[in-house]
Amino acid sequence: MPLILNTAAASPLVGLASHHFSKFPIKPLASSRNFKPLSFPSSASPHSRLPRMSWLGKLGLGFGGRGSATEASSAIAQSPDDDVPAAGQEFAQFGAGCFWGVELVFQRVPGVTKTEVGYSQGNLHEPTYEDVCTGMTNHCEVVRLQYDPRQCKYEDLLDVFWERHDPTALNRQGNDVGTQYRSGIYFYTPEQEKAARESMERRQKVLNGKIVTEILPAKKFYRAEEYHQQYLEKGGRFGFKQSAAKGCSDPIRCYG
């Protein structure tokens, strides 16, 4: 349901906020029998993390979140992702717009054994969603996954990545606009980098627009707040669960 604003009394800036509010989970009306609202632990309530006017950060007005980072903080955030995958698994990391839908599409891939959504490539240590939404930390919404290379090739993951989003759109996917929604492949090994660049060359040949996807080394991964994890599988905004079964080809409703 769209946000209802008193446009007569609102500032001209207010209209710019509407698509940012759509990213936050909204509990459905209790009077609707068709809706099954999600319950969140008090410590992880999405409403407790709502950024107050954080959309103004997109305009450089500095409201909501910490935004700027110290040199020490930036150095940590820009360090390599030194986490270790489970035995026999390998990491892959992608940014392709809002991480809710991107995670679900990778959950469905046979051979993918774990997915997490989070923030990476920014300049602020331990960012919150509020910080990222200011548009001042340069983080990208990413999905970090673990996969079994005996069951799934990295090239297969790249194919899923290209099909999932529009890699010619700069800093946006659909109605989601901002650097956090940029397209990116973040590699862990020279072999992944090589495969990513070759894959991009092949993809460019079948697209009219120029691909703007960045291909960079994977940097420190900050796991997003728990309510973001497997968000669509758990029911999304409206409580309608979407299948994460391997091989499922059901259309994905990006916000639930």
Q: Which two tokens stand for residue 95?
A: 């940014």
User: How far is it, in rounded angstroms, from Cα 176 to Cα 26?
Assistant: 17
Half-sphere exposure of 36 (CA within 13 A, CB side): 7
Task: Report the chain's terminal Cα–Cα distance, integer Å.
Answer: 12
98 has catalytic annotation: yes
Q: Report which of 61, 69, 65 is spatially closest to residue 50, judged by C-alpha positions.
A: 65
- What is the DSSP-derived secondary structure letter of residue 123? S
Q: Is 219 helix (H, G, I), strand (E, B) or coil?
A: strand
Q: Is 143 within 8 Å of 122 (Cβ atoms)?
A: no
Amino acid letter, 77: A
User: Of 98, 140, 152, 254, which residue is the catalytic one?
Assistant: 98
Query: Rounded to an integer, what is the distance from CA 99 to the centroid of its chain?
Result: 2
* Catalytic residue annotation: 98
